Structure 1
C-alpha cells in the first residue's frame, strides 16, 4: 500500500506583506489538521517564531539567512527533524520563507531531495502581496519571482488602497501571473479551506517557468548586496514616550531605506509584551501576552533595509531604555 505523503504549503511574500499574520490566522482557525511550521527569517534574531500560535514541538525557526540560498540545507534538515520528531503525527507542513527568499530554490529543495520526495508533496505555493507598497516593490526581481511562482496570490492590505488602485494592481499582477487564484483581503484573513486541502501546485507549470529547476544547479540566486539586517537583544525597560519619538523621527528620515522593522518590546509601564511592526513608513504596535514571572523581559528588535548604519540604529534603540 502506498504511504500517504504529507502536503506542504509554502508561504512566500516580500518583507512585511503579512506572511506571519496569515500563518497565525490559519493556525488559529484550524480545527482539523495537526500542522508543523518552519519559519525562516533573514535577520540573525528570530521574532516571527515567537509570534506564531503553534504547538512549540511543531515549530522550527531558521534564522540569519534565506532558505533559498545560505541556509537552504537547514530547511531540509529542519523538515526531516520535524517529521522524525512528530513520529508521523503531522497532517501537513507550512513553510514560511523570509521576505527576501526566491521561491524557486525552495521548491527545488522539495523536488530534488530523495528522502523528502518520499515523505512530503508540494500542495500549494502561496504568495502574500502588500497592496499598499506593491507599486514601490514591483521593480524588485524577488517580488516579481514571488508572484510568478505562486499558484495562490493573497492581495493583502486592500483596506488601505482605493478601488481604482486595486484594479490597477490587479492588472499588473496578472501581467506577471495570469493563472494563479487571486484572493483580495486585509489582515491576511482568508478562509482556511480556501488555502489548505486543495492541491494547486503544478510541476508542469513550474517547468514552463523554470525548465532546469530539477537540476541541482538549475536556479542561481544572489541577494541584493545592499540589503542587510541588524538587530538588538537587550534586557531593560523602554521608556514609551522616548521610543515613540525616536521611531517616528527614524521613519521620517530613513523610511524609504528601512524596508522592515519588527520587535518584541518591554515597556516600563506595561505588564504585556508589545509587538512592533513597520513597513517603510507604516508603523503598527499592539499588545501581546503578559510577561511570565520567571521570564527574562528582553527586548528583541530587527532592522532590515538598504545601506543601514547598524551602529547608529542600535545606539538609537538603546537610548530609549530607562
Structure 2
C-alpha cells in the first residue's frame, strides 16, 4: 500500500462454511504476493493449519478458543510475531477466524492496538456462507454478526441447493447486509483479484453498525455454553470399513448436535493422508498429499457441537483403529 502498511483481510464464516478452502484458493492462485496467514480454531487440536498451503514461517495457528474473546491477546501477539519474523517480506496478511467468532472484537483488535495501527491496515472483511445451512443458522446471533460486518459475502456450496432456495437465501442475507458484494460459488472458488487488492473496509460503515467499536471495553462476548469441542490425537492406522460404519451411524444418531467434524486420517494400506469434513449430516472425505517418510502418521480429529459426550466420541473413534 502507498502508506507502507500491510493490508489485512479478515475471513470469517460459521462452522464448515469453507473458510480454509477459500484461504487455500487465495494462496494457490496468487502468483505475485507473499501472504502471511493467522488461523484460529475453536478446538484444542489444530486441523486447518495443517491443511493450509502457506510456507511454514508465514503461518501461525491459534487453538483452543476464539480470537473474538478468550484469545484476543494471542491474536495481537501472533500478528506482531508474524510481522517481526517475516514482515519485511510479507505483502499482505490473512486472518481466518474461528467459525464461532464474532467479527466485531476481531476488527476492534486491529483498530485499537496502537502498534498494529502503524503497521497494518484492514483492507476487507470477507464472510463465507454455507448455502445449504445458512437459513437454519440465521437464528444464531454470531452468524448474523458475521454477515452484517462483511464487505464481501461468499455464498458457497450453491450447487447443492436449487435456484429457488438460492434466491431465498440471497434475499435473507441481503436483509442483514444491503451493501456487501455477494459472490456465489462452489468449493470457495473465487478469483484472487475479486477479494485481494481493493480496499473495501470502511470505518464509517462499521461505526454505523457498532458505534462504540473503537472503545476498549464492551466487545467481549460469551459463546453458547452448550457448544463445546473435543478432540482425538492418536497414532496407528484406522480400519476404513470400521470408520465408515461408525461415522455414518454417528451422524445418523447425532447429526443435528454435531455441528462440525474435521480430521486428518491415517488409513491402513493408504500412502496418502485423508481429509475428513462434515457439517451436520453432510460428510466428505478426500485424499490429500502422501505421507512423508519422516512424518508421524497421527490421526487428528475434532468434534464441535452441542451437549457432546466427549468420552463416548473419543472411544468411538479409537474403536476404529485397525487391530494389530
TM-score by length of 1: 0.99
Kept in 1, the 8 Å contact 2:17–2:156? The answer is yes
Q: What do the CA deviations read for 1:3-55 (whole angstroms, capped 9, x no partner)?
A: 51000000000000000000000000000111000000000000000000111
Matches of 2:87 and 2:166 in 1, distance apart? Answer: 45
Structural RMSD (CA): 0.8
Spell out the pairing of 1:132-151 with structure 2 (5 A cutoff): 132-151=132-151
Q: Please name the residue that 1:184 is paired with.
A: 184
User: Which stretch shows the higher mean deviation, 103-112 or 286-295?
Assistant: 286-295
Q: CA deviation at 1:87?
A: 4.2
Q: Please name the residue that 1:234 is paired with.
A: 234
Q: CA deviation at 1:220?
A: 3.5
Matches of 2:30 and 2:206 in 1, distance apart? Answer: 29
Matches of 2:312 and 2:232 in 1, distance apart? Answer: 12
TM-score by length of 2: 0.98
Matches of 1:182 and 1:22 in 2, distance apart? Answer: 15
Spell out the pairing of 1:10-89 with structure 2 (5 A cutoff): 10-89=10-89
Q: CA deviation at 1:292?
A: 1.1
Q: CA deviation at 1:218?
A: 3.5
Q: What do the CA deviations read for 1:127-177 (whole angstroms, capped 9, x no partner)?
A: 000000112111000000000000000000000011000100111001100
Q: Which runs of 5+ in 1 are unaligned?
A: none
3-state secondary structure, aligned to 2:30: coil
Q: How many residue pairs get matched?
A: 321
Q: Please name the residue that 1:169 is paired with.
A: 169
Matches of 2:150 and 2:289 in 1, distance apart? Answer: 34
Matches of 1:119 and 1:161 in 2, distance apart? Answer: 42
Q: CA deviation at 1:186?
A: 0.5
1:121 aligns with 2:121: yes
Which aligned segments of 4 or more residues in structure 1 are displaced greater than 2 angstroms?
none
Matches of 1:51 and 1:220 in 2, distance apart? Answer: 29
Matches of 2:287 and 2:199 in 1, distance apart? Answer: 36
Kept in 1, the 8 Å contact 2:68–2:220? The answer is no
Matches of 1:271 and 1:219 in 2, distance apart? Answer: 47
Spell out the pairing of 1:264-279 with structure 2 (5 A cutoff): 264-279=264-279
Matches of 2:94 and 2:181 in 1, distance apart? Answer: 19
Q: Please name the residue that 1:219 is paired with.
A: 219
Q: Please name the residue that 1:308 is paired with.
A: 308
Q: Please name the residue that 1:160 is paired with.
A: 160
Matches of 1:295 and 1:54 in 2, distance apart? Answer: 18
3-state secondary structure, aligned to 2:125: strand
Q: Please name the residue that 2:105 is paired with.
A: 105
Closer/same/farther in 2, CA of residues 87 and 212 from structure 1, 3 Å limit: closer
Matches of 2:91 and 2:296 in 1, distance apart? Answer: 34
3-state secondary structure, aligned to 1:88: helix
Kept in 1, the 8 Å contact 2:135–2:172? The answer is no
Matches of 1:73 and 1:87 in 2, distance apart? Answer: 19
